Homo-oligomer: A and B are copies of this chain.
Amino acid sequence: MTSDKSVTDSPVRTDGLHLENFLPYRLSVLSNRVSNAIAQAYGTRFRLTIPAWRVMAILGRFPDLSAAELVEQTAMDKVAISRAVSTLLSNDYITRSEDPADRRRQVLNLSQLGRQVYGQIVPLAQGYENDLMSSLSAEERHQLDGIIDKLMDRAQAWADRGLID
């Protein structure tokens, strides 16, 4: 009398939380799958970590930012930015120059090389996004857009109300 248990053929009912339908869980799985796939793609080609690429992505759009401004933009933390910046400097993907008006502040930009890499990664990333989006109808895409905004606001409200920390 073997008590063979396989998840699939013994759906024991204890009526608890159904993780597989639980939105936070599904979001987390989806987000990780997507990010890892993309990170893998540019990571192997250009030796970039996710935070490093994120910094490049912002600098590519908004030149002349300081580390603090990057923090603001990305919601990443100081330390992560600092580390990303230092590896990007040693890769020569970005440049750093002192702000003469405030010698603590350092102005960051994509370097020549950085812009070139950026120019290659952008379509690559967009390719993944398009592929993802292509599984949705135009209507669904539009719906998703609004839904994410609403969820984002709600989750943000938790933090604001002090439900977090």
Contacts and interface: CB of A to CB of B under 8 A. Distances in A.
Interface of A: 2-3, 5-8, 10-12, 14, 16-19, 22-38, 40-41, 54, 57-58, 60-66, 69, 72-75, 99, 101, 107, 118, 122, 125-126, 128-129, 131-136, 140, 143-144, 146-148, 150-156, 158-159, 163-165
Contact of A14 (B16, B28, B60, B151): B60
B136 A150 contact: yes
A14 B61 contact: yes
Given A27-B27, A57-B19, A60-B16, A163 B41 contact: yes
Contacts of A40: 163-165
Nearest to A8: B69
B19 A24 contact: no
Contacts of A61: 12, 14, 16-19
Nearest to A64: B5
B63 A17 contact: no
A158 B122 CA distance: 18
Contact of A125 (B22, B33, B99, B135): B22
Contacts of A63: 12, 14
A123 B26 CA distance: 18
A17 B143 contact: no
28 contacts: A2-B101, A3-B64, A5-B65, A6-B62, A11-B62, A12-B61, A17-B57, A17-B61, A19-B54, A23-B34, A23-B133, A23-B144, A24-B34, A24-B35, A24-B38, A24-B129, A27-B34, A28-B34, A30-B151, A33-B152, A33-B156, A40-B165, A131-B158, A135-B151, A135-B154, A136-B150, A143-B144, A144-B147
